[in-house]
């Protein structure tokens, strides 16, 4: 009898573990499927902002238009809530969705903080060479943070497409930054990141039709 009870307990534990594993895997698949539209949304928004700001900077010869980047999260997050509300009215969340949300939330905080400190530093006063160096460094830092956030999201969701996209965005964007582009044209690095996001969203959506 004791052996039978122990076997039943063991089977119950194994079944519980299998159920938990299956539930987590299903959650990852569902979150990844839903993330496709968010990759598309932020990719289009990032591409639009980068091109719009580049056109303004080029037309006026002023870098001050870069301050419009602070409007991206101010516009993007409310619109994302509307998008999420329409397709997920119950607002169901679990640990995996919270982790992924936390990753991108942390990226947003770091990116805005770095940009704000850079803006303050440039306003305090520095040499022209120092100003150029600071702005160049800011582009590199943000694109690397962006790629890292995307790559870590791919790790959390166990999705190779998102992992690779993060690597391409971070390392590829950094390579383009230092080897190809200079001056205002560095804004095209964010256009590149936006297009990678759009491609990622399209691929993810095709994976989970």
Contact between 126 and 134 under an 8 Å Cβ cutoff? The reply is yes
Tokens representing residue 189 in the block = 């690095």
| pLDDT tier for residue 179 given thresholds of 50, 70 and 90 | confident
How many Cβ atoms are within 10 Å of 88's Cβ, its own excluded?
12
Q: To which H or E segment does residue 27 belong?
A: helix 2-60
Delimit the domains of the chain by residue range: 2-207
Report the distance separating Cα 146 and Cα 50, nearest Å. 14
Report the distance separating Cα 47 and Cα 176, nearest Å. 16
Q: Is the pLDDT of residue 132 over 80?
A: no
Contact between 46 and 187 under an 8 Å Cβ cutoff? The reply is no
Higher confidence at residue 3 or residue 103?
103
pLDDT, one tens digit per residue, over 181-202 is 667 788 888 999 999 999 999 9
pLDDT, one tens digit per residue, over 85-115 is 755 544 456 677 788 888 888 888 888 887 7
pLDDT, one tens digit per residue, over 21-33 is 666 667 777 788 8
């Amino acid at each position: 009898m004791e052996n039978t009870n122990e076997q039943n307990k063991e089977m119950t534990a194994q079944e519980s573990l299998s159920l938990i594993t299956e539930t987590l895997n299903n959650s990852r698949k569902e979150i990844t499927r839903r993330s496709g539209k968010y990759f598309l949304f932020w990719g289009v928004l990032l591409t639009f902002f980068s091109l719009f700001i580049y056109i303004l900077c080029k037309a006026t010869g002023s870098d001050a238009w870069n301050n419009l980047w602070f409007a991206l999260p101010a516009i993007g997050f409310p619109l994302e809530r509307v998008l999420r509300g329409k397709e997920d009215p119950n607002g169901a969340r679990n640990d995996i969705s919270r982790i992924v949300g936390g990753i991108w939330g942390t990226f947003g905080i770091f990116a805005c903080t770095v940009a704000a400190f850079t803006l303050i530093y440039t306003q305090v006063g520095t040499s022209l060479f120092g100003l150029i160096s600071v702005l160049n460094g800011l582009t590199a830092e943000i694109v690397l943070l962006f790629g890292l956030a995307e790559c870590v999201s791919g790790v959390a969701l166990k999705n190779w497409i998102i992992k690779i996209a993060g690597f391409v965005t971070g390392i590829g964007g950094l390579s383009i930054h230092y080897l190809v582009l200079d001056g205002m044209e560095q804004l095209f690095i964010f256009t590149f990141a936006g297009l990678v996001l759009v491609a990622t969203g399209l691929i993810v959506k095709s994976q989970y039709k």
